[in-house]
Structure 1
Amino acid sequence: MTAARTAALGRYGEDVAARYLSQSGMRVLERNWRCRAGELDIIALDGETIAVCEVKTRTEHGIQEPAEAITPAKAERLVVLAERWASERWPEPLPMGGIRIDVLCVLHGGAGPARVRHLRGAVG
């Protein structure tokens, strides 16, 4: 897959994930927050919990399960980024539920609608 197609698939997956979260009752606070250390795909509020959401999108023809792309190094980076986001963007104190790191696996089959699997608290 070319870099442009990979980027387009990633944007598609993030759009699907943001819509899924909103339809699930969560409030999307921010998308694609960046700093020197990296990027957070979606930050949402789930009741009294800030959910930092990593979106992994794959086609159904892919070999790897989307969640398998979260290596220990990636998980550690997500924790650091979540803490940095909170220190820069959230007024003290954090909500009662604190911060949770979720993974949203988006499988795009081409013809039909994408399927989303939401793994709450998958990292940390």
Structure 2
Amino acid sequence: MRAEDRTGLLGEEIAADHLAEAGHLILERRWRSTRGELDLVTIDGDELVAVEVKTRRGLGYGHPFEAVGPQKLHRLHRLLAEYVSGYPGPRIRRRVDVVSVLLPPDDARAAEDGTRPRVEHLRDVRP
């Protein structure tokens, strides 16, 4: 597995743990359709949430939130609508959140000095 893929999967795990601690119920991880993928699908109170997770090991390529522009947000909202069309149960409000995970650049050093990933969560992000 490529280093970028491992970083992304680690970020999704950290984001899922963060959201679960905040009260989200994790329904899906890496939900796929023919049109794309949602990193996480959760229930937060009375809302269905598609969560885009962006993970970086530094800010050399910009803040992780910068990688989620209007076009990406439109696609996420369309994918969530597609997911909802197959959702069993009553109509439910929905939103798209974005979670940024900033990992320490060196996991070995981080384990020694106790450095933890920095997680930021934007709720109800719209294009």
TM exceeds 0.5? yes
Sequence identity percentage: 39
**Is 2:97 aligned against 1:94?**
no
**Is 2:30 aligned against 1:32?**
yes
Structure 2: distance between partners of 1:39 and 1:68: 19
**Is 2:13 aligned against 1:15?**
yes
> Which residue identity does 2:16 align to in structure 1?
A
The residue correspondences of 1:1-124 to structure 2 (distance < 5 A) are: 4-88=2-86, 90-95=87-92, 98-109=93-104, 110=106, 111=110, 112-124=115-127
Structure 2: distance between partners of 1:14 and 1:118: 13
Structure 1: distance between partners of 2:67 and 2:22: 24
Cα offset for 1:92?
A: 4.1
The structure that is strand-richer by fraction is 1
Secondary structure of the corresponding residue to residue 64 of structure 1: coil
> Which residue identity does 2:7 align to in structure 1?
L
Q: RMSD value over aligned CA atoms?
A: 1.4
Structure 2: distance between partners of 1:61 and 1:92: 42
Superposition TM-score, scaled by structure 2 size:
0.88
Secondary structure of the corresponding residue to residue 53 of structure 2: strand
> Which residue identity does 2:99 align to in structure 1?
L
Superposition TM-score, scaled by structure 1 size:
0.90
Larger radius of gyration: 2
Where structure 1 has 5 or more consecutive residues not aligned to the other structure, the ranges are: none
> Which residue identity does 2:117 align to in structure 1?
A
For these two proteins, the number of residue pairs brought into alignment is 119
Where structure 2 has 5 or more consecutive residues not aligned to the other structure, the ranges are: none
Cα offset for 1:73?
A: 1.4
Structure 2: distance between partners of 1:47 and 1:80: 22
